[in-house]
Chain A
Amino acid sequence: MNTRTLKQSERIHPKKFALWLGLGTIIMMFAGLTSAFIVRRAAGNWLAFELPPLFYISTLVIALSSLTLIFAERSFKQQNRTVYKNLLGLTLFLGIVFVILQYAAWMQLAGYGILLRGNPSGSFVYVISGLHAAHVLGGILFLTIFYLKALPKLDPVKELLEDINTEKNLPIEMLSAYWHFVGILWVYLLVFFYYFR
């Protein structure tokens, strides 16, 4: 479907464009939450607390996973299947570690006496980082699907067919865009929490 002229197909692919718009909606959602945070903080009766140290470690982990995904994408485009598969697996692993670390960070936070209920300053950190973790889980789901697809195939014809597919780079490019986005989003949230704590 959607037959278009050669000239038009050189523009950004509609699906990739839709993904970028989708990322825009996620930005709006977190912009809404962080502005609610600022408005609420300005109203007073605000409990200040230190962020759990594990948040910083998890930031390193998700940054590292973005790095491994960059190299995975590069090896995919160089048709280096084994390296691609391994790097993708590493990214997936780091993504899972990130979510576990976020959970551990919540436990640390709870250890300080900052619970989900109570003063909204703590509730906001839980809800915002939780919603972010939900978006990371969405990325993990797709990483898993890509990893399963990257496992060695028995049918050489299928592999050959994939090689000549003109759009074969599109899915991995969209996945990286999303994954880097959730990484950068977390860095923003961390800086935000640090600055406005």
Chain B
Amino acid sequence: MAIIESGTEIKIDVHDHHEHEHHHEESFISKYVFSQDHKMISRQFLITGILWAIIGVLFSVLFRLQLAWPDESFPILEMLLGKWAEGGKLAPNFYYALVTMHGTIMVFFVLTAGLSGTFSNLLIPLQIGARDMASPFLNMLSYWFFFLAGMIMLVSLFISTGPADGGWTAYPPLSALPKASTGSEFGMTLWLLSMAMFVVSSLLGGLNYITTILNMRTEGMTMMRMPLTMWAFFFTAVLGVLSFPVLLSGAILLLFDRHLGTSFYLSDIYIGGQPLTNAAGELLQGGSPILFQHLFWFLGHPEVYIVILPAMGMVSHVLATNSRKPVFGYSAMVMSILAITVLAFLVWAHHMFISGLNPFIGSIFVLFTLLIAVPSAIKVFNWIGTIWRGNINFTPDTLFSIGFVSLFISGGLTGIYLGNSALDIPLHDTYFVVAHFHIVMGLAAGFGLFVGVYHWFPKLFNGRMMNNTLGYIHFWITFIGSYCIFWPMHYLGMTGVPRRYFQFSNFETFDVYSSLNVFITLAALLVFFAQFLFLINFVHSALYGKKMTTLNPYDSNSLEWTTPIEPGHGNWPGAIPSVYRGPYEYGKGGLDYVPQHVPDSQLWKKEPQNEKV
């Protein structure tokens, strides 16, 4: 349907449902629950993600208690967990369930949906100049599939046999045989169903993000004028769209193995001296558990970039904005994201060096793995180059961005060790690995989440700002505390302390580190409680925070700061602004900042002698 807008050009309304432009009163359900507005969906993703983060981090605190004080009894645990902590001591099976759920929840629900889901939804239409996603309906479905995935996982926490406990990687045969452990019974089935729903959610979201970025950019917004956040979300979506279907394939085969007697992953398994048979009494044979590892890590490795790329994009954007300098090497940043995306698909077997993989194949994966260091290093140099001699505003979002860079460097360096198949033999499945991926992926992406929330809070909650003082306290405790948690784990790992062990007090070799484990747990408790400062700040600011007085509180160049303080569905009340330049023109031509949407003629007409940038 054709409509004429503000006399400048004829616009075509591509979609039929244009009811939002009329600003009629929406019902509570369509505004807050089944909303198709990308900004509301983004809030839904964020709040759901935060709730899951509380659960996921709480679980880690519970198993840290066990690791620090294995012989201690905590009556409160029995009160909270009942039969899973009889006598105030965690049951070994439940310890594994906690570890599994912590991994699953943090990787998928918090750092994938909560991070990429929130900020892709919020920022893509706002920063490229679109009224909404390509398909707002699919976008809504994406959230509700995520919600469903979460609900299934939540139910699995409360069933009598407990949630899945075979590790977040769900390796068979542990995950394929319901008899393997209590968590491999109904809990594992629910885990697989939940993951299937989550894959659907990610795919629907990813399709939308890619389509929107490629097709719905405003006039003048060429690809190379997009903020780096957009490039990051774009390649994140590409990674998800290409890798999540493979996880689904792997999960489907696992479901067949579990419930329909196939043996894709099972072979020659003996329980109590008796060979395992299917329902028809035939031997289970011919399967390969390594096959699942290949399918899983073909997703699993790109997944870590799905987690980290959005954080990288937001950090690049925030560092440039808050140091009042252009991003150092914009096209190098874009190309390094592209390189990471391509390499992400060629390195999955570095998780499987000790699975019996052919060492010659292993050496190819070593090569590609170490190659990732090149684009990663380019990004690190460019972040440092961006803030170098900048006029930095040390707001909490800047601090978290700098913290992100610090964590990415410390965690990335240990990746070089682990990427070597020879060094991986002693280090595999030790606390060294735990330290590496928590710092480089978990903490760094978590910091990315904080960067996004602190920076774009006014866009999330109707122009309200977060409290900076609480933000500073939150940052310093989290930053120092996190290093205190994970740095000592490198030493544990180097001496060979294996991960996923319930209790070390029976092993003389590992028991000498018990005081270090106590230290780690104390740091973990400190960081855990510091997050409540953030939560209080978040809730209080969302409801009563100081309202921003101007449209553009950070003097930022990108388009999201041209929308009204409380934008309706459709984002801009009038025409969508056109774009005339890249997003990081700070401190150029004698101007502190040069917004993307202001034409050159308006900027420099008063001083014609000033050269254009």
- A contact set with B: CB distance below 8 Å: 1-6, 8-9, 11-15, 17-18, 21-22, 24-26, 28-33, 36, 39-40, 43, 45-47, 116-121, 123-124, 127, 131, 166-167
A25 touches B295 (CB 8 A): no
Given that A9-B12, A25-B244, A28-B243 are known contacts, is A2 also in contact with B131, CB under 8 Å in the complex? Answer: yes
B13-24 Cβ-contact flags toward A at 8 Å (1 or 0): 111111011000
Does B352 reach chain A (CB closer than 8 Å)? no
B298 surroundings in chain A (CB, below 8 A)? 32
B282 surroundings in chain A (CB, below 8 A)? 117-118
Does B551 reach chain A (CB closer than 8 Å)? no
A116 CA to B15 CA, complexed, in Å: 46
List 24 interface pairs A-B (beta carbons < 8 Å), by A numbering. A1-B13, A1-B15, A1-B18, A1-B131, A1-B132, A5-B219, A9-B12, A11-B215, A14-B215, A18-B210, A21-B211, A25-B244, A26-B245, A36-B291, A36-B295, A39-B288, A43-B288, A116-B261, A117-B280, A118-B282, A121-B286, A123-B262, A131-B252, A167-B16
A18 touches B244 (CB 8 A): no
Given that A28-B245, A117-B278 are known contacts, is A4 also in contact with B11, CB under 8 Å in the complex? Answer: yes
B321 to chain A minimum Cβ distance, whole angstroms, is 28
B250 touches A32 (CB 8 A): yes
Report, nearest first, the 8 A-B pairs whose CB atoms are least far apart.
A32-B246, A29-B245, A117-B261, A14-B134, A32-B249, A28-B245, A123-B262, A14-B215
A17 touches B215 (CB 8 A): yes
B241 touches A25 (CB 8 A): yes
A120 surroundings in chain B (CB, below 8 A)? 262-264, 286-287
Interface residues of B in 259-278 (CB under 8 A from A): 260-264, 278
A180 CA to B570 CA, complexed, in Å: 36
A119 surroundings in chain B (CB, below 8 A)? 285-286
Does B153 reach chain A (CB closer than 8 Å)? no
Does B88 reach chain A (CB closer than 8 Å)? no
B20 touches A1 (CB 8 A): yes
Partner of A123, one of B242, B263, B295: B263
Task: Give the residue name and chain of the A residue nearest to B285 (CB).
Answer: A45
A127 touches B18 (CB 8 A): no
A123 CA to B282 CA, complexed, in Å: 14
Interface-central residue, A1, A119, A123, by most chain B CB under 10 Å? A1
Interface residues of B in 325-366 (CB under 8 A from A): none
Does B539 reach chain A (CB closer than 8 Å)? no
A13 touches B207 (CB 8 A): no
Chain B contact residue count (CB 8 A cutoff): 65
B16 surroundings in chain A (CB, below 8 A)? 167
Interface-central residue, B136, B279, B280, B287, by most chain A CB under 10 Å? B287
A contact face: mostly helix, strand, loop, or mixed: helix
Interface residues of B in 118-140 (CB under 8 A from A): 130-132, 134-136, 138
Partner of B13, one of A3, A29, A30: A3
Partner of A18, one of B3, B130, B138, B280: B138
B130 surroundings in chain A (CB, below 8 A)? 2
B483-526 Cβ-contact flags toward A at 8 Å (1 or 0): 00000000000000000000000000000000000000000000
A131 CA to B248 CA, complexed, in Å: 11
Interface residues of B in 57-86 (CB under 8 A from A): none
A3 touches B3 (CB 8 A): yes
Question: Given A1-B136, A3-B13, A36-B291, 19 other A-B contacts at CB below 8 A?
Answer: A2-B14, A3-B14, A4-B11, A4-B216, A5-B219, A6-B11, A8-B215, A14-B134, A15-B211, A17-B134, A25-B245, A30-B249, A31-B246, A36-B250, A117-B262, A123-B263, A127-B252, A127-B253, A127-B262
A15 surroundings in chain B (CB, below 8 A)? 134-135, 211
Task: Give the residue name and chain of the A residue nearest to B1 (CB).
Answer: A166
A167 CA to B13 CA, complexed, in Å: 11
- B contact set with A: CB distance below 8 Å: 1, 3, 5, 9-18, 20-21, 130-132, 134-136, 138, 203, 206-208, 210-212, 214-216, 219, 241-246, 248-250, 252-253, 256, 260-264, 278-280, 282, 285-288, 291, 294-295, 298, 569-570, 576
A9 CA to B2 CA, complexed, in Å: 12
B12 touches A4 (CB 8 A): yes
Interface-central residue, A8, A15, A28, by most chain B CB under 10 Å? A28
Given that A3-B131, A17-B214, A117-B263 are known contacts, is A29 also in contact with B14, CB under 8 Å in the complex? Answer: no
B14 touches A4 (CB 8 A): yes
A47 CA to B286 CA, complexed, in Å: 9
Partner of B11, one of A3, A123, A166, A167: A3
Task: Give the residue name and chain of the A residue nearest to B572 (CB).
Answer: A3
Given that A3-B3, A14-B14, A117-B260 are known contacts, is A40 also in contact with B134, CB under 8 Å in the complex? Answer: no
A28 surroundings in chain B (CB, below 8 A)? 241-243, 245-246
Given that A120-B264, A131-B252 are known contacts, is A6 also in contact with B12, CB under 8 Å in the complex? Answer: yes
A3 touches B263 (CB 8 A): no
A1 CA to B131 CA, complexed, in Å: 7
Task: Give the residue name and chain of the B residue nearest to A128 (CB).
Answer: B249
B17 touches A1 (CB 8 A): yes
A117 surroundings in chain B (CB, below 8 A)? 260-263, 278-280, 282
A15 CA to B294 CA, complexed, in Å: 33
B280 touches A2 (CB 8 A): no
B207 touches A21 (CB 8 A): yes
A32 surroundings in chain B (CB, below 8 A)? 245-246, 248-250, 295, 298
Task: Give the residue name and chain of the A residue nearest to B16 (CB).
Answer: A167
A118 surroundings in chain B (CB, below 8 A)? 262-263, 282, 286
B14 touches A9 (CB 8 A): yes
A31 CA to B248 CA, complexed, in Å: 12
A14 to chain B minimum Cβ distance, whole angstroms, is 4
Task: Give the residue name and chain of the B residue nearest to A28 (CB).
Answer: B245
Task: Give the residue name and chain of the A residue nearest to B250 (CB).
Answer: A32
A17 touches B211 (CB 8 A): yes
B383 to chain A minimum Cβ distance, whole angstroms, is 31
B195 to chain A minimum Cβ distance, whole angstroms, is 14
B5 touches A14 (CB 8 A): no
A1 surroundings in chain B (CB, below 8 A)? 13-15, 17-18, 20-21, 131-132, 136, 569-570
B212 surroundings in chain A (CB, below 8 A)? 14
Given that A11-B215, A28-B243 are known contacts, is A18 also in contact with B208, CB under 8 Å in the complex? Answer: yes
